[in-house]
Amino acid sequence: MKYQDIQKKTDAELTELVIATRKDLRTENFKDKFTKKASVVQGAKKTIAQALTEITARRNSAAK
């Protein structure tokens, strides 16, 4: 998912995205090493980080 797409989402959608992606990451991490896909894990971590960054930026800009 591109960061521009994340910026267009509402706060509620971002929260749901983080929750769903963390769930996907958790299930992927519990797979055995032969069926685990590194690209899925890496993509999920990146999406979570981008969404949390956007949430934090919105909170900091609203506080000013």
Backbone phi and psi for residue 10, each to the nearest 5 degrees, phi listed first:
-80, 170
N-terminal to C-terminal alpha carbon distance within the chain: 29
* pLDDT score of 33: 83
35 pLDDT exceeds 90? Answer: no
| d(C-alpha 57, C-alpha 34), whole Å | 38
pLDDT tens digits, 1-34: 899 999 999 999 999 999 999 999 999 999 988 8
Give the residue-averaged pLDDT of 30-49: 92
CB 17 within 8 A of CB 9: yes
Quick one: which of 16, 18, 11 has its CA closest to 48?
18
Residue 45 pLDDT class (50, 70, 90 cuts): very high
* pLDDT score of 22: 98
Please tell me the pTM assigned to this model.
Answer: 0.89
